[in-house]
Amino acid sequence: MKAPIVLKFGGSFLRGHADLVRAVHAIYREVRDGRPVIAVTSAFHGRTDALERSLRSLDAERGVRSSERTRAALLQTGELETANLLSAALDRSGVPSRVLEVPRFGPFVEPGTEDPTHVDAKAIHELLERFPVLCIPGFAAAENTPERGPALLGRGGSDMTAMVLGRDLSATIRLVKDVEGLYTSDPARKDAEAGPPRRLARVAYQDALSLGPDILQPRAVRFARDHELEFEVVGPGHIAGVRGTRVGERPTASRSAPAPPRPLRVALLGLGAVGARVFAELQSAPDRFEVVSVLVRSIPGRERPAAARSLLTESYEEVLAAAPDLIVEATGGHQPAAGRIRTALARGIHVVTANKVAAAKAKPHLEESAREGGAVLLASAAVGGALPALETVGRLRTGSRGDALVGIEGVLNGTSNAVLDAVAKGSSLAEAIEAAQKEGLAEADPTHDLDGTDIVHKIELLARAAGWPAPRWLHQESLAVGGEDAPARRVHVTPECQLRARFIGSVFRSDVGPVASVSLQLAGEDCVFHGVNGSWNALVLHFESGATRTVMGRGAGPWPTATAVMGDVYAISRRIALGELAPEAEALTETEEEGR
Ligand code: NDP
Ligand code: HSE
């Protein structure tokens, strides 16, 4: 496992519920790289002050000051609220997470102090083996006594929570704010005499201490200095290596930051269940993305988001004429989708697709067009939704220390999984399919969700990501053929039973090459697939040594699919900003100067 990263989301970033989706994007970018995340939350902007005011006015009315214990217990609730809402937002987007209870895991303080002594690093590491993301309320602490009474880490104390976690877990520390790092003066204010504020590339601890408590908690900076912890201050669309400010031992240096790079021009093909969600998520980051055109089959077809109406077209030529840097394809089916993707790539337009049919059937040709056009094609959402399946297989195909990947198996279709669960609970097959369609899990025509073809496409994409030749097919079972006798109708495994019916796709290397199958199997309580319910997917990788690695995520539905699409969009945007892909990155023209 990679070393964890602590991401602290400040009150300037988390102003309200609408900002949770950007926090999810920032977290997911790490998760898909296989990096465990500990997300530290501040309270929503202004929340702690409001709680403090309520307590003071109550105290004033009765003429008695509440105890520190009461104050600590009350003020913590702001951070606890955001930690739980962030965990719920991660769940909605298909990313597994858990909220850490401060009395159990820390940070701990000696009674009457606000300086953390430690967190329970061993227990947190154990949880990170099971959950890719742990959310923890910042600012909150527990007394290091058997009662574990409530305590605080001082105003701005979420910074301190990040520092103590970073120290005890040997984790990278990143503080996420609403601007791209630390500046010589407030970037929101224009001061004609001083000129435009300059972003600081690096800040020495000593200078960080003078920035003021609203920017960084001085006590947290001193903690970092005393424990030799370097940390970064970054913006919501952080791009590692390009923007942000590093705080540490080295002397302060500023950057002559020109105007930020223009937003990426994105065209969207399809505005259905997935496309509409992707549209909303692109719009949540207007500094990074501008949607320039939206292709649909028929404009009067269905209700459209108001903001998309002026961008709608039925003509692909018009989409290309809008000069997008990147196209997100969310229409579905083999053709005309594959042809459109190919045309875009050949013209140097990057493409992100959620379409497993087009990707599985045409990937080699599409990759050739991408090479010719100098463009990139990514298809994370085509397998596993928010479960980063292709990325994990691509990263671990040689295994750690040469332990080769020999097999891949998983629950890879959310619709069939949800249908099997619903039938086991007593639904009819037709009711179960209708419910999956209403949730936006099933394809427009759900035949391939149930006859195993969708899983076949995903297994083929996974085998390709592993660098293997196309697999031989041993067996493809169907859940839905056979009328009254269809396997899905005959599932009599009730929820009380220790066994669960699961539709499993697998591919294993053999001396005749990779061999694949799709089959209905029984999962006992000790089987990892037992707990994979509803729209969740799970992927198990088998290595030559006998070691296994399991990854989970929601595999279907608009939110998880959009999460995976946005992961790809951010990955391309990062490579553009690093100057690896066209259009050219202005960010790299920055020059660094010593001093402020
Ligand atoms: P929907 O049927 O809800 O939406 C499809 C959209 O594409 C509609 O806006 C439709 O236009 C448009 N469209 C379809 N065909 C054409 C065409 N030939 N020309 C122009 N526009 C067209 O599908 P989903 O959003 O559920 O799925 C989209 C893609 O995402 C599919 O490839 C699917 O396999 C994939 N996917 C879906 C997941 C899910 O959970 N739903 C998960 C992972 C991947 P109009 O609005 O006019 O009908
Ligand atoms: N219909 C697919 C499923 C969507 O249910 O898994 C995700 O690929």
Distance in angstroms (rounded) separating the CA atoms of residues 53 and 168: 34
- 243 lies in the same domain as 109: yes
Burial tier of 271 (Cβ tally within 10 Å: 0-12, 13-18, 19+): buried
pLDDT computed for residue 585 by the predictor: 45
Answer with the one of 203, 237, 255 that is the final residue of a domain.
255
In a domain, 584, yes or no: no
Nearest CA to ligand 2 atom 7: 556
Q: Which two tokens stand for residue 60?
A: 């004033």
- 215 lies in the same domain as 113: yes
Nearest Cα to 175, choosing from 221, 207, 212? 221
In a domain, 593, yes or no: no
Give the domain CATH number at 370. 3.40.50.720
pLDDT at 214 over 90: no
Distance in angstroms (rounded) separating the CA atoms of residues 315 and 178: 38
Distance in angstroms (rounded) separating the CA atoms of residues 374 and 59: 66
Query: pLDDT tens, 179-194?
Result: 878 887 776 666 656 6
Which is higher by pLDDT, 241 or 89?
A: 89
Lowest-confidence range among 63-67, 101-105, 160-164, 400-404? 400-404
Mean pLDDT of 206-216: 90
In a domain, 348, yes or no: yes
pLDDT computed for residue 179 by the predictor: 80
Residue 244 — pLDDT band, cuts 50, 70, 90? confident
Residue 313, φ and ψ in degrees, nearest 5: -150, 160
- 50 lies in the same domain as 96: yes
Point out the ligand 1 atom lying closest to the alpha carbon of residue 415. Answer: 40
pLDDT computed for residue 203 by the predictor: 93
Nearest Cα to 223, choosing from 376, 360, 107, 368? 107
Mean pLDDT of 212-221: 92
- 426 lies in the same domain as 363: no
pLDDT at 399 over 80: no
Nearest Cα to 348, choosing from 584, 582, 586? 582
Give the domain CATH number at 250. 3.40.1160.10
Pairing of strands 326-329, 350-353: parallel
Half-sphere exposure at residue 166, Cβ-oriented, CA atoms within 13 angstroms: 27
Mean pLDDT of 135-164: 97
Burial tier of 185 (Cβ tally within 10 Å: 0-12, 13-18, 19+): middle
Residue 291 — pLDDT band, cuts 50, 70, 90? very high
Which-ligand-closest: CA of 357? 1
On whether the CB atoms of residues 419 and 432 are closer than 8 A, the answer is yes
- 370 lies in the same domain as 451: no
- 563 lies in the same domain as 514: no
Nearest CA to ligand 1 atom 22: 297
Give the domain CATH number at 470. 3.30.360.10
Mean pLDDT of 123-147: 97
Pairing of strands 5-9, 199-204: unpaired
- 381 lies in the same domain as 394: no
Nearest CA to ligand 1 atom 36: 354
pLDDT at 582 over 60: yes
Strands (E) across 257-302 are located at 264-269, 289-295
pLDDT computed for residue 588 by the predictor: 39
In a domain, 86, yes or no: yes
- 404 lies in the same domain as 548: yes
Strands (E) across 262-393 are located at 264-269, 289-295, 312-313, 326-329, 350-353, 377-378
Strands (E) across 23-145 are located at 37-41, 97-99, 108-109, 116-118, 133-137, 140-143
> Which residues are CB-contacts of 477 (< 8 A; sequence separation ≥ 6)?
452, 487, 503, 518, 519, 520
Mean pLDDT of 373-384: 96
Mean pLDDT of 482-488: 63
- Ligand 1: distance of its center to the CA of 381 in Å? 13
pLDDT at 266 over 70: yes
Q: How many CB atoms lie within 10 A of CB 579?
A: 14
pLDDT at 495 over 80: no
pLDDT at 593 over 90: no
Query: pLDDT tens, 511-522?
Result: 999 999 999 999
In a domain, 93, yes or no: yes
Distance in angstroms (rounded) separating the CA atoms of residues 195 and 312: 42
Residue 65 — pLDDT band, cuts 50, 70, 90? very high
- 243 lies in the same domain as 276: no
Count: domains in the chain: 3
Mean pLDDT of 299-304: 87
In a domain, 589, yes or no: no
Answer with the one of 255, 279, 298 that is the final residue of a domain.
255
- Ligand 2: distance of its center to the CA of 309 in Å? 27
Give me the domain span that covers residue 225: 5-255
On whether the CB atoms of residues 332 and 355 are closer than 8 A, the answer is yes
Mean pLDDT of the chain: 91
- 274 lies in the same domain as 249: no
Answer with the one of 235, 255, 275 that is the final residue of a domain.
255
pLDDT at 389 over 90: yes
pLDDT computed for residue 577 by the predictor: 83
Residues at CB less than 6 angstroms from ligand 1: 270-275, 295-298, 301-302, 330-332, 336, 354-356, 381, 385, 440-441, 443-444, 556-557, 561
Residue 586 — pLDDT band, cuts 50, 70, 90? very low
- Ligand 2: distance of its center to the CA of 453 in Å? 11
Nearest Cα to 170, choosing from 233, 110, 121? 121
Strands (E) across 121-273 are located at 133-137, 140-143, 150-152, 172-176, 182-183, 199-204, 231-234, 245-248, 253-255, 264-269
Residues at CB less than 6 angstroms from ligand 2: 385, 413-415, 441-443, 449, 454, 555-556
Mean pLDDT of 437-461: 94
Q: Which amino acid is at 381?
A: A
pLDDT computed for residue 402 by the predictor: 80
pLDDT at 492 over 80: no
In a domain, 586, yes or no: no
- 563 lies in the same domain as 540: no
- 158 lies in the same domain as 47: yes
pLDDT at 400 over 90: no
pLDDT at 591 over 70: no
In a domain, 596, yes or no: no
Lowest-confidence range among 38-42, 151-155, 472-476, 552-556? 472-476
Q: How large a percentage of the chain has pLDDT more than 90? A: 76
pLDDT at 474 over 60: yes
Helix axes 558-577, 273-283, angle to 10 degrees: 50
